């Protein structure tokens, strides 16, 4: 829940992204809520037309497809041999 709130704030869901500092505006371009807000904000506020949302929608579909593929294959875990992460185990076993 906390991560959703942070992503919403960074993405510009709570206030116009134009009133935020430059570093937040840069981060906004890297998160899915930011892509969604740009897709909605440009045609409404800047009268850019519906076609201005197409690149953002394509990026959202591609990101959803990639995340869906990873989830369908069992996610990213140390127990999944197809998608292996290097995980070190700490602690002592007696």
88 part of a folded domain: no
81 part of a folded domain: no
3-state secondary structure the chain: CHHHHHHHHHHCCCCCHHHCCHHHHHHHCCCHHHHHHHHHHHHHHCCCCHHHHHHHHHHHHHHHHHHHHHHHCCCCCCCCCCCCCCCCCCCCCC
State the total domains in the chain.
1
83 part of a folded domain: no
62 part of a folded domain: yes
78 part of a folded domain: no
Structure pTM?
Answer: 0.65
Over residues 58-74, the mean pLDDT reads 91
User: What domain range includes position 65?
Assistant: 2-72
Residue 94 has pLDDT above 70, yes or no: no
pLDDT, tens digit, for every residue of 10-52? 998 999 888 999 999 999 999 999 999 989 988 888 888 889 9
79 part of a folded domain: no
57 part of a folded domain: yes
């Amino acid at each position: 829940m906390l991560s959703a709130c942070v992503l919403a704030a960074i993405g510009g869901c709570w206030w116009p992204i134009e009133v935020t500092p430059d570093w937040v505006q840069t981060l906004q371009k890297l998160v899915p809520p930011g892509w969604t807000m740009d897709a909605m904000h440009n045609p409404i506020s800047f009268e850019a037309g519906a076609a201005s949302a197409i690149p953002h929608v394509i990026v959202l579909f591609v990101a959803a497809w990639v995340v869906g593929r990873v989830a369908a294959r069992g996610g990213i875990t140390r127990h999944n041999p197809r998608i292996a992460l290097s995980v070190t185990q700490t602690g002592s076993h007696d």
